[in-house]
Structure 1
């Protein structure tokens, strides 16, 4: 027969229905809040941007490479700010062909 100390020790890990309900309610609220944020972002911005600055920087380098032949953030001012020059080069192929950058990047 288990002693009283074992019963107390084992009962510490029991989740009561009220605690489980509170946890599920909190998780459901967080999920709904996340969906609301995504819906407002999509409605307000139309998923038109990139999630990170680096993606936009690479697009700028690629566009300028296709237009001017220089790896430059600002046209006419060569710079080495691209952290992935090969990726910028590959993106520039889409600009040369005339494919919209969203299709070429996410494609």
Structure 2
């Protein structure tokens, strides 16, 4: 697992320069202001999330339109960078097993 986590597709859709600036400033404030600004930032993120799904969620639906079997493998591969070594090994085993069953299904369908 990388020490530096990259934003997910979902996070990328909801982030803005202004929100990043707001969140970056939090550690430089005194404790009471940190708490208030952190809560404010999360409220803004929640508002953006609600607005996103009310208006245009099609950009996230791109992944769900693919073949369902491939979709599971793609999702697990995207989750993998957020896992520790043992979790990644377990995911790899599951992905291999899933691909094996999918290949078996294709051959004997």
Same fold (TM over 0.5): no
TM-score normalised by L of structure 2 = 0.29
Larger radius of gyration between Structure 1 and Structure 2: 1
RCO (CA 8 Å, sep 6+): is it higher in 1 or 2?
2
TM-score when normalising by structure 1:
0.30
More helix by share: 2
